[in-house]
Amino acid sequence: MSVVNASIVWKMLLYPFMILYGVGVAVRNWMFDVGILPSEKFDTPIISVGNITVGGTGKTPFTEYMVRLLRQSNKVGVLSRGYKRKTSGFVLSTEKSTSAEIGDEPCQMKRKFPDLVLAVDANRRRGIRKMLAEPNRPEVIILDDAYQHRYVKPDISVLLIDYNRLITEDSLMPVGQLREPLKSKNRANIVVVNKCPSAIKPIEFRIIRKKLKLFPYQTLFFTSISYDRFKPVFPKYASDKMQKDIVSRDNYGVLCVSGIASPLPFEHYVSSFSKSVRSLTFGDHHNFGKDDISKIEKTFAAFPSRHKIILTTEKDAVRLRDNLKMPDSLKKVMYYIPLTIDFMLEEGPAFDKQIIDYVDKNRQYMRLS
């Protein structure tokens, strides 16, 4: 049996489970729509950033973009679930918080924005209440990865869609990777097609717009991911010379180490400036243990290149940095590549204005109240 036929048979076997899953999701959403399950509204502006697919759609870089935008004139808070953390309940982060305590993505944001009021709690309503009860309470709260968390009614809901895996061409779990049916996109105020290639053609924008069939109350934006200058995972051990050399030497060997949902774009980017690339991939949000570090060390030592480094993602760097078993030999050669969001079609200012205008208007209303 060919691979294609095997895939078709496998999907047919999973189809009944997809129907059952779809019924469950539909009933749950209906209960929220008619008020059987409550959605709580807060006086403080709440902005939700999320998706309806399994896997990475660039939520963390986008949330960081929102933080940069809003922190210019607001005290910003971020509430996350803290996926795969080893704590439970509500945890308010500090500058000393580790990935084990609050999760890798929240830890990444807190270290990047020390003044950020960042907390983790699987119960978003409780988390918001506790954040607003803090002396240093935020003036606006961003809910990270909360599109399915309907117990909170956000003021603005941002839905992220991966250009490489459009929701219009996907199926519900477990046949596909959709957490919710396609019509769930209608809850979003703003839809962002992320990870677009820089060379995308104008006709593609029109085709995607037509496929999504958005309502007049929804605005659509297209963004791409940019790779910034790589930075040392362990700054105290880093060599400035090595950091400068790698961007000018295509004979530099690179070992890519990643534990993310979609490592291929990262590896493809590294291949664009290095002719000698090897990869070690782990599961998404992987907690690197002693055996993993030993495997990285042995693979790197066996790399034949004379000049070589280890490159990882920013999210992985957080977990690797917190690993107490990391030998000094690896600390000297380990770097990560930060990601940034770029709006296409010169529509960044329009997005910024829509967000800032709403938050400012809402804050003025609160002062009057």
pLDDT band at 275 (very low <50, low <70, confident <90, very high): confident
Q: What pLDDT, in 10s, does the model give residues 165-221?
A: 999 999 999 999 999 999 999 999 999 999 999 889 999 999 999 999 999 999 999
Buried b (16+ CB within 10 A) or exposed e, 187-222: bbbbbbbbbbeeebeeeebeebeeebeeeeebbbbb
Q: Quick count: other Cβ atoms within 10 Å of Cβ 322? A: 17
Residue 327 has a CB neighbour count (10 Å cut-off) of: 11
Helix (H, G, I), strand (E, B) or coil at 263: coil
Cα gap 23→228, rounded to integer Å: 43
Tens digit of pLDDT for each residue in 126-174? 999 999 999 999 999 999 999 999 999 999 999 999 999 999 999 999 9
- Amino acid at residue number 300: F
Cα separations (Å) of 168 from 25, 52, 193, 264?
A: 18, 11, 12, 22
Give the domain 46-226+343-364 fold: Rossmann fold (3.40.50)
Give the pLDDT score at 246: 62
DSSP-assigned letters across all residues of 217-258: T-EEEEEEEEE---EESSGGG--HHHHHHHTT-TT-EEEEEE
| Domain positions in the chain | 46-226+343-364, 231-337
The secondary element (H helix, E strand) that includes residue 171 is none
The residues with which 339 forms a beta bridge, in sequence order, are 227
The answer, yes or no, to whether residue 247 has pLDDT greater than 60, is no
The residues near 53 (Cβ < 8 Å, ≥ 6 apart) are 161, 162, 165, 167, 170, 177, 178, 179
Mean pLDDT for 259-271 is 90
27-36, 47-56, 237-246: the lowest-pLDDT one: 237-246
Q: Which residues pair with 224 in a beta bridge?
A: 342
